[in-house]
Structure 1
Amino acid sequence: MTVPPMPPMPFRLTGLTVDRIRTFAVALPAHRSFGVSGGATAVAGRPSVRVLVQVSADGVDGWGEASPTPAWTYETAESIVTTIDRYLAPAIIGRPVWDLDGVDSAFDRAIDRGFSTGAPLAKSAVDVALHDLLGRAAGVTLGALWGQRRRETIELGWVVSGQSPAEVAESVAEGRAAGYRAFKVKIGLHDEETDAAAVTAVRDNAPDAPLWVDANQAYTVPAALRMARRLEGLGVTAFGQPLPADDIAGLRRLRDGSPIPVALDESLCHPSDLATFIRLDAVDVAVAKVQRGGGLTLSRRLCALAEDSGVRLMGSGLTDSDVGLAASLHLFAAYGIDTPVDLNGRQFIESPYAGPTVRVENGIAYVPDSPGLGVEVDEAVVAELAVDVLEVRP
């Protein structure tokens, strides 16, 4: 596995140490509802909480984001805030900002990995903020910081949120009107017939569009094999996480029998997880996802391992707001991911805290050219949006 080394750090960076870390749980407006097999992740008209993290060093700030999604993983807004404030932040105060590998080790000592990365969303938010801070202090983008940027734009996929054929047709039409040319369908929310009907409706309304599906661990092996055979005739390019994340034997059986590539998402909490699936010849596609993978440091390792092993890479996110969107774009651009990706935050939520930020036009996201992440965070707006998620409720 070959991760390109960072270029030599300017003297200013080598002397910077972390002196403050702050968390802000912010309530962001949601303009569409969105659900996965585990439940709703956004509800139209109801604020969606994200946790923004500010890391400071000698007057320079960097920002990261965690997207609590209890329907998808075990971390909540409350747990993310307390994990960062009480465990991760104390573990790295006074540590050199550039020592990202040392930060990762300190995180593992504070919150052990276990079977997963161990609080990956919380760790990711701090790691991304450190990257943003480094880029801002050096006056360069993350691609320049890494010495690796292969793309200037990333194509986004429109997430189809309807289930009935009529709802699906309406969603596809909305996406096409917004300039999107690729579609992703969440399945596993209902029975197999309803799932298949939803995918068929997308194909009927977008005959030539790239199309992939994501089951978010909803199926058994027999059900997933039945669904894969149905999907083959619809030109589906990838079957995302059909089985529970820890069902390694089942995923091997499914990969052997599926007529379409199986993409692993929730199964890849750490680069070592991908190494296991590669050794077992049990992976077709690895999904790069910054928050699930514990941040940019570990996600770069996972992407490099996939690339060196000949495993296809796809990109995805967690309905991030603009800070998380930018982090993912820099990662995907670094590794040249050229297939449409699921970075759907703009489709479902707003980011009123962001001033100059990521440009998205006709389903194409432009990788930021400003230092760090390239997103200017308005602290006054963050303060207005902040909510106390630890408030004791009756």
Structure 2
Amino acid sequence: MPSPTQPPPPGSPRPTPPATPTAPTDLTGLTVDRIETFAVALPTRRSFGVSGGAVAVAGRPSIRILVKVSADGVHGWGEATPIPAWTYETAESIVTTIDRYLTPAVLGRPAWDLDGVDRAFDRAVNRGFSIGAPLAKSAVDVALHDLLGRATGVPLGVLWGQRRTETLALGWIVSGQSPEEVGDSVAEGLGLGHRAFKVKIGLHDEATDVAVVAAVREHAPAAPLWVDANQAYSVHSALRIARRLDDLGVTAFEQPLPANDIPGLRRLRDLSPVPIALDESLRHPGDLATFIRLEAVDVAIAKVQRSGGLTLSRRLCALAEDSGVRLMGSGLTDSDLGLAASLHLFAAFGIDTPVDLNGRQFLDSPYAGPTVTVDKGVAHVPGGPGLGVEVDEGVVRELSVDVLESRP
């Protein structure tokens, strides 16, 4: 074993630098005085698709909206991931929603008043049947959490008084490949240390979807394996597929039906041999409460951006835990800010199954200095203040693009 003064052996995880000791700021005196949005073009490593369409295209920059919230000289960062193929928010709508609606609702408010900010958000952009601009709201909410952690000099788990694990296993995503192409993707994931796989289905016909899952199982016979349909099926087709997935040892069937098909999801949950996991159906903790009352959910997916940020996500996770509903973790192909926010949430609730935080698989985060360490398919929860990601604002500005510029 190396002595404390010796460098770690090659290939060892890079430790998160400890927080610089500083006198904690008096949170009661922090008032939000500025919110800035930056649409940044990040390098894309691989193409990625879901049943609704493309999420990332190799060779084409991936747009992420970074948000900086400032309060009396302290600041924090958050992120929104516009994916029109998955939800209705675009890069343009996120920027205008934050700049023109959420910012006026938050400026001048105490930075610590996360509950009050959430209520102010609902007055600015009403929930309606859904949560109302969850990605935009999430970016500001996460930035406020980062700000509070930085103001006090502690990571989010310490701020919350809740962290049950220091590491989380990441699943490797298989999406878009034909059954014949799956082997290369699985081999790449295994080579990088991943030991669990999530397969996007609903991209082909039923027979091909099942054949892709079967191919993954063939190449990773002992790996935990779950699938995500992103609302692609009807009750009848989902039930046919679930019976075949059960034979392949699939552990969860994520969002097989449209998000608002509550009767269908209840029926499928009663009949499916594979546990039904809900993602797009759970925009707000109140949605989960409805599914619990109707006995229409086996597994609740925790997803920071989908639920409007960490404030509501913590409520959703606590409700699932208190109700005996199994929790799984997922993200939105986030860059490192979103990755860190999810890790803090999932670590707080001790999610003990592999999670779908696939940003590192599909894009780079050149704006991040000291940041999340991922080693052999395992992510280490950051130990720095706030999110634990150091943002180089100069790089953010260099990568910024104008998504609101007029087009012919």
TM-score, normalised to structure 1, is 0.97
Q: Give 3-state SS (helix, strand or coil) of 2:322's partner.
A: helix
1:117 aligns with 2:124: no
1:70 aligns with 2:84: yes
Match of 2:6 in 1: none
Match of 1:380 in 2: 394
Aligned match for 1:286, one of 270, 282, 300 = 300
Q: Give 3-state SS (helix, strand or coil) of 2:32's partner.
A: coil
CA contact (8 A) 1:66 1:122 kept: yes
Q: Residues of 2 paired with 1:168 and 1:263: CA distance? A: 24
Match of 1:84 in 2: 98
Residues 107-146 of structure 1: pairs in structure 2 closer than 5 A: 107-146=121-160
Match of 1:391 in 2: 405
Structure 1, unaligned runs of 5 or more: 1-9
Where do 4+ consecutive residues of structure 1 move more than 2 Å?
none
Q: Shift of the alpha carbon at 1:127? A: 0.1
Match of 1:337 in 2: 351
RMSD across aligned C-alpha pairs, in angstroms? 0.6
Q: Give 3-state SS (helix, strand or coil) of 1:373's partner.
A: coil
Q: Which amino acid aligns with 2:127?
A: R
Q: Residues of 1 paired with 2:349 and 2:25: CA distance? A: 28
Match of 2:263 in 1: 249
Aligned length: 385
1:302 aligns with 2:316: yes
CA contact (8 A) 2:42 2:366 kept: yes
1:319 aligns with 2:333: yes
Match of 2:71 in 1: 57
Aligned match for 2:232, one of 218, 233, 238 = 218
Q: Percent identity?
A: 81
Q: Which amino acid aligns with 2:235?
A: V
1:149-183 residue CA offsets vs partner (Å, 9 max, x unmatched): 00000100000124312211110000000110000
Residues 95-106 of structure 1: pairs in structure 2 closer than 5 A: 95-106=109-120
1:285-323 residue CA offsets vs partner (Å, 9 max, x unmatched): 000000000000000000000000000000000000000
Q: Which amino acid aligns with 1:139?
A: G
CA contact (8 A) 1:158 1:183 kept: yes
CA contact (8 A) 2:176 2:200 kept: no
Q: Residues of 2 paired with 1:154 and 1:122: CA distance? A: 26
Q: Which amino acid aligns with 2:151?
A: A
Q: Residues of 2 paired with 1:171 and 1:13: CA distance? A: 47
Q: Shift of the alpha carbon at 1:55? A: 0.1
CA contact (8 A) 1:161 1:171 kept: no
Q: Give 3-state SS (helix, strand or coil) of 1:54's partner.
A: strand
Q: Give 3-state SS (helix, strand or coil) of 1:235's partner.
A: coil
Q: Residues of 2 paired with 1:299 and 1:378: CA distance? A: 27
CA contact (8 A) 1:21 1:55 kept: yes
Q: Shift of the alpha carbon at 1:106? A: 0.1
Q: Residues of 1 paired with 2:106 and 2:57: CA distance? A: 36
Residues 6-45 of structure 1: pairs in structure 2 closer than 5 A: 12-45=26-59
Match of 2:384 in 1: 370
Aligned match for 1:346, one of 340, 352, 360 = 360
